[in-house]
Amino acid sequence: MHEDATQTSKTLLGADELVLNMGPQHPSTHGVLRVKLKLDGERVRGTECVIGYLHRGVEKIAEHRTYQQFAPYVDRMDYVAAVSNGLGYCETVEKLLSAEAPPRARVIRTILTELQRIASHLLWLGTHALDIGALTPLFYCMREREEILKIFEKYCGARLTTHAFRIGGLQYEAYDLFEKDVERFCKDFERRIQEYVDLLTGNSIWIGRTRNVGVLSAEDCIALGASGPVLRASGVKWDLRKAMPYAAYDQYQFEIPVGTRGDTYDRYIVRMEEMRQSRLICLQAIENIPPGAILARVGKVLKPPPGEIYHSIESPKGILGYYIVSDGTIQPYRVRIRPPSFVNLQALDKMARGHLVSDVVAIIGTIDIVLGEVDR
Amino acid sequence: MVDESKASQSSDSLKPDAAGAESGPGTPQTADAPGVPTAKPVAPAKPAATKTPVPVQVPLDNELSRRYRERFGAGILDALEDRKQPYLVIDAAKLAEIGRYSRDEEKFELLEDFTAVDWPRREKRFDLIAILYSFTHNTRLRLKIPLAEGEQAASLVEIWPTANWLEREIFDLFGIVFAGHPNLRRILLPDEWQGHPLRKDYDILQQDTPWVRENLGIESGQ
Amino acid sequence: MSPATQALLEFLRSWWVELLSGVVIVAIVPLVAGYVVLVERKVMADMQARLGPMRVGPHGLLQPIADALKLLIKEDIIPDNADKLIFWLAPVISMTAALTSMGAIAFGPSFQVARDINVGLLFIIGISSLGLFGIVLGGWASNSHYSIMGAIRSMAQLVSYETAAGLALISGLLLAGTLRIHGIVEAQEQYGVWFIFLAPIAFFIYVVASIAEINRAPFDLPEADSELVAGYMTEYSGFRWSLYFLGEYANMIVVASVATTLFLGGWLRPFASVRWLSWLDVLPALVTQAVGVYCLIRAGKQPVAVQTKFMWAVALACFALAAILAAPLVGPFRWRFLMRGLHGAFWFLLKVGAYIYLFMWLRFTLPRYRFDQLMGLGWYILIPLGIINIFGVGIAMILESEYGWNRWLALVVTTLVTLGAAFFLLHLNEKRKAAASSAIAVAKEAVAGDIYAG
């Protein structure tokens, strides 16, 4: 990729604009992301993201794999929240087959997905706090995340790229102490969230670093397609789990946290509250997991009728959508993945303008991107 | 990946008898058909017992499609519903107009996704797919825009700014040019890459060999 | 003998103590600083729910040795166009300043390294400020854009907070009446109370300013590694970097010693002037004994045999120390003279340790200030507050001496007035920040332009 660092323009004072390069190797860009900052002194006049360092051609690969063979690939996109990716894909293919997972599978899927949401937000919190300078929350978050990953490991054998779900339901039955483990985690978690709140929420340095930093109004959010906590922090009370419920979400009571100002602090509060709500969903779900089959009869060979389908879920990062075109064969004709991080990252430019260089790090952290998903 | 659990013994009529050729490279029992290439599963020669797959699109005739047809007449080439998801096939020349109408009158505020599909044997090779979502009505709508090779599509950036990177990605991977896009450059692939990978006639042996050789030092196709 | 040799011998005879002390400082302080780093890592680990270095030596006790060896044998990289002489000199200046300022510190009534010079405190503050040259020259000599930016930021931060620290110290000095280290502690003994209780706001200002002085979190923006500009230390690796690093930790000890001397009563035990509380003198020996007993108890619970033996060794050392501390109390009368020295050193080191623990605690709890917020805090709040506090303490002293007010009443009244002024300053700062953020909004509008780009 060629360097166009010489393309600058004159700033207000007639001085040359400085182009500062962040990444692709940088401790705070959360993966291989390159951000070119156009600076006027210390103020950011514009940013340009260079992505594609992690592009693996997943959509092209999908055209040469059967539906089941492609399922592990989707875990590798948003590798921090693999279970959500799997949920979106399996549900989309099930819709394509006009099949539905049995109730028991749906509930267990919900529990695992909500645990994954908590794990993803914990990782976000730890790294975001680390970027802003708080060294300790990272380790506390990793400690909690470890518990969740242990549950995943006991369930399906893998911690990170889980491939937990199958098309039609689940492969593995919930292990014997599954409900107990989840319950113990959830009961413990309330106290832990309080630790993070004590460390950060009222801290005047934290507020000073995050209040009014990276403000995105609701209109801009919708115009730029930002979704997930970014959208909710700007004041739009909308969550796909409530608007178009999938899996078993319509059976549970939970709130949608909403912010007011659309700044980094509000996004922090929204994600903290989302963790609490996920915990409540888990607690409600484990009380009553319906008995029955865990896998629908979709057959070993999947040949969906030709046509297309679009289905999206609320992943921890935003709207994760799958658009699958089938031509009647065992391999999909086209799989398009609508990545929330990719679309949210577009908003970086709008959010970072006018701020100082130190704030750019905070803003990248607050969008919560995973480069695997941005680039696929 | 292979459903070996007892619950999956399905009696699906689409399941063919020749298990060897069907299950793809993942299963252990493909070794018994030497003549069948296991690296690339092909459509099997089906015995007469199985049905040929039929598309499940049905024509769409609801309030929404009627309003669009009223407004744009010939601009709406077709209105269909596939597995309860409505979509309109529209004329590429009317894309910007229809986009503006969708956002302003029909209140589809969010362009949820914008992508393309390549049907190389068709005359209008590409299908641009725009997936719109309305917060007000909580509905989704798909717009399908057939495009010929070399034909330029109108950019939706003015209407939905989120289309900026989405269109760049389509340009990068398919080669479709969007007229009016402020910054139409490659986004995922290196700037000097030759070729558009998501086209159906692009495979690993054809990938940009000079770039790979120069920049990665390997022979492509490995 | 030639007159030159005679003069040399004469010089050595009168100054051999100081020379020896100098050699001892240069030899011992890096080792001590290395172990302070280990303590910091262990404390950090404890606060982060993990264990810290455990592998190198029992419980990681040989970690600093291993780190020092590693840094010594690392390749010495000098950037291409760097000014070689300055590049070599900068960390040396930094370390020298830190070590020299240790010369005037008294770690106890009889453990002063240099003589008790009459400008002790001023000497310490002045010489440790020279370390600034090491930073800015290092940044400049690296010939890297980001290094010089980081060095300039660091320099700006240091200069502002040194001013604030100095103003805070002046308030304490008003009470002490002298710059001599021994004199300051004796003044606290005379007053009967530590100066932290007489001038709490000054202490608070000094705590904040001293953290900024040594570039520690939450004021470590110039050297944080998740920031864009990696700071003046970027191009330094291996031994040169370790000089900077040790200089920083030596500075930490210096700053803690200054605070202890001036505000925390130096080497005085709590309630030093209260005769009927002199039984508190058993505390040092008792505390050390308790630590030894605790080590013995934990020794039984160690998983590995070598760790058990190690805990026994630590317990033994604690008992030995307790014996030494108790000796002047329980031994023959002529050993009494030892007490002041030993116990004084114990209390001093305890207080310095507590102060350093506070530094570490703050580092691992608080996020980092952004540079403009950092400078705002220094110039808009701490410096004005320091000036107001000087007036406050001065007025209190005049009220006491000229108008016969009760000392405590005078000080409480002036402290409350200064607190009121502090809140007023904070309020002003909020207004200023609100104005600044609307300036950001205006700046955003000015550059809004092409939102469709990149």
A225 chain-B contacts, CB cut-off 8 A: 110-112, 160-162, 166
What mean pLDDT is reported for chain B? 77
Find, in chain C, the residue whose alpha carbon is nearest to that of B163: C452
A223 contacts B162? CB cut-off 8 A: yes
Higher-pLDDT residue of C129, B8: C129
A361 contacts C226? CB cut-off 8 A: yes
> pLDDT (tens digit, 9 = 90+) per residue, C228-265?
556 777 777 788 888 888 888 899 999 999 999 999 98
Model pLDDT, residue C267: 85
Q: Point out the residue among A168, A309, A323 whose CB comes nearest to the CB of B115.
A: A323
Q: Point out the residue among A55, A236, A334 whose CB comes nearest to the CB of B117.
A: A334
Shared-domain flag, residues C259 and C273: no
Helix, strand, or coil (residue B144): strand
Model pLDDT, residue A106: 93
Total domains, chain C: 2
C452 contacts B182? CB cut-off 8 A: yes
CA distance B183 to chain C (A): 7
pLDDT > 80? residue B3: no
Q: What is the CA radius of gyration of chain B?
A: 22
Restricting to B residues 160-179, those with a Cβ less than 8 Å away from any Cβ of C are 161, 164
A287's CB contacts (< 8 A; 6+ apart) are: none
Shared-domain flag, residues C251 and C274: no
Model pLDDT, residue B15: 38
DSSP string, A234-246: TT----HHHHS--
Return the DSSP state at B18: -
Low-confidence ranges of chain A (pLDDT < 70): 1-16, 27-29
Helix, strand, or coil (residue B215): helix
Q: For an interface test with A, which of B57, B121, B187, B208 has the most A Cβ atoms less than 10 Å from its Cβ?
A: B187
C450 chain-B contacts, CB cut-off 8 A: 182
Whether residue C373 lies inside any domain: the answer is yes
Find, in chain B, the residue whose alpha carbon is nearest to that of A59: B198
Return the DSSP state at C117: -
What mean pLDDT is reported for chain C? 84
How many contacts does B have with C, using Cβ atoms within 8 A? Answer: 10
Is the Cβ of B183 closer than 8 Å to some Cβ of chain C? Answer: yes
Model pLDDT, residue C256: 93
DSSP string, B174-190: H---EET-TT---SSS-
Shared-domain flag, residues C309 and C192: no
A35's CB contacts (< 8 A; 6+ apart) are: A21, A22, A23, A29, A47, A48, A49, A50, A348, A360, A364
Identify the burial level of B28 via C-beta atoms within 10 angstroms of its C-beta, where 0-12 means exposed, 13-18 middle and 19 or more buried.
exposed
Distance CA C62, CA C57 (A): 5
B182 contacts C453? CB cut-off 8 A: yes
C453 chain-B contacts, CB cut-off 8 A: 182-183
| Over residues C25-47, mean pLDDT | 90
Higher-pLDDT residue of C452, C439: C439
Distance CA A260, CA A266 (A): 7
Model pLDDT, residue C76: 81
Contact C148, C142 (CB under 8 A): yes
Q: Where are the domains of chain A?
A: 58-375
CATH number of B57-188: 3.30.460.80
Whether residue C436 lies inside any domain: the answer is no
pLDDT > 80? residue B35: no
| Over residues C160-186, mean pLDDT | 90
Cis peptide before A24 (omega within 30 of 0): yes
A356 contacts C367? CB cut-off 8 A: no
Find, in chain A, the residue whose alpha carbon is nearest to that of C51: A139
B182 chain-C contacts, CB cut-off 8 A: 450, 452-453
Instruction: Please tell me which chains touch A, using 3 or more CB pairs under 8 Å as the contact test.
Output: B, C
Whether residue C447 lies inside any domain: the answer is no
How many contacts does A have with C, using Cβ atoms within 8 A? Answer: 104
B53 contacts A299? CB cut-off 8 A: no
Shared-domain flag, residues C216 and C87: yes
Restricting to B residues 30-49, those with a Cβ less than 8 Å away from any Cβ of A are 40-41, 43
Residues in chain C: 454
Higher-pLDDT residue of C156, B219: C156
Range(s) of the domain holding residue C102: 74-266+364-392
Read off the tokens for A178: 């599954």
| Over residues C62-90, mean pLDDT | 86
Percent of chain B with pLDDT over 70: 74
Q: Which CATH architecture has domain A58-375?
A: Orthogonal Bundle (1.10)
Q: Where are the domains of chain B?
A: 57-188
B161 chain-C contacts, CB cut-off 8 A: 451-452
Shared-domain flag, residues C255 and C293: no
| Over residues C26-33, mean pLDDT | 87
A291's CB contacts (< 8 A; 6+ apart) are: A104
Which pLDDT band holds residue C352 (cuts at 50, 70, 90)?
Answer: very high
Read off the tokens for C212: 């900024």
A300 chain-B contacts, CB cut-off 8 A: 2-3, 8, 10, 15, 23
Restricting to B residues 101-120, those with a Cβ less than 8 Å away from any Cβ of A are 109-113, 115, 117-118
Distance CA C105, CA C97 (A): 13
> pLDDT (tens digit, 9 = 90+) per residue, C199-237?
889 999 999 999 998 888 788 877 765 555 567 777 777
A143 contacts C367? CB cut-off 8 A: no
Whole-angstrom CA distances from C26 to A290, C69, C97, C243 are 73, 17, 12, 12
Which pLDDT band holds residue B34 (cuts at 50, 70, 90)?
Answer: very low
C368 contacts A205? CB cut-off 8 A: yes
Phi-psi region of B12 (alpha: psi -120 to 50; beta: other; left: phi over 0): beta
C444 chain-A contacts, CB cut-off 8 A: 353-354
Contact B174, B116 (CB under 8 A): yes
Find, in chain B, the residue whose alpha carbon is nearest to that of A244: B138
Shared-domain flag, residues C324 and C215: no
pLDDT > 70? residue C15: yes
Is the Cβ of B157 closer than 8 Å to some Cβ of chain C? Answer: yes
Q: What is the distance, to the nearest Å, from the Cα of residue C166 to the centroid of all Cα atoms in its chain?
A: 14
Helix, strand, or coil (residue A158): coil
C373 chain-A contacts, CB cut-off 8 A: 205, 208-209
A321 contacts B188? CB cut-off 8 A: no
Which pLDDT band holds residue C118 (cuts at 50, 70, 90)?
Answer: confident
C451 contacts B183? CB cut-off 8 A: no
Model pLDDT, residue C39: 92
DSSP string, B76-98: EEEEEEETTEEEEEE-GGGHHHH
A2 contacts B22? CB cut-off 8 A: no
Model pLDDT, residue B177: 92
pLDDT > 70? residue B98: yes
Task: Give me the sign of the Cα torsion angle B28, B34, B36, B41.
Answer: positive
Shared-domain flag, residues C182 and C317: no
> pLDDT (tens digit, 9 = 90+) per residue, B170-203?
999 999 999 989 889 999 998 888 888 999 888 7
CA distance A135 to chain C (A): 6
pLDDT > 50? residue B27: no
Most confident of A125-129, B61-65, C284-288: A125-129
Instruction: Please tell me which chains touch C, using 3 or more CB pairs under 8 Å as the contact test.
Output: A, B
Q: What residues pair up with A43 in beta bridges, in sequence order?
A: A40, A356
Model pLDDT, residue B221: 61
pLDDT > 80? residue C333: no
Distance CA A367, CA A374 (A): 12
φ, ψ of residue B42 to 5 degrees: the values are -110, 165
Q: Which residues of C149-164 are buried (b: 16+ CB within 10 A; e: fewer)?
A: bbbbbbbbbbebbbbb
Shared-domain flag, residues C127 and C246: yes
Q: Which residues of C185-215 are buried (b: 16+ CB within 10 A; e: fewer)?
A: bbbbbebebbbbebbbbbbbbbbbbbbbbbb
Q: Which residues of C touch A (CB under 8 A)?
A: 44, 47-50, 217-218, 220-221, 224-229, 363-373, 437, 440-441, 443-444, 446-451, 453-454
Lowest mean pLDDT, pick from A56-65, B31-40, B92-101, C361-370: B31-40
Distance CA A230, CA C81 (A): 46
Whether residue C114 lies inside any domain: the answer is yes
CA distance C451 to chain B (A): 8
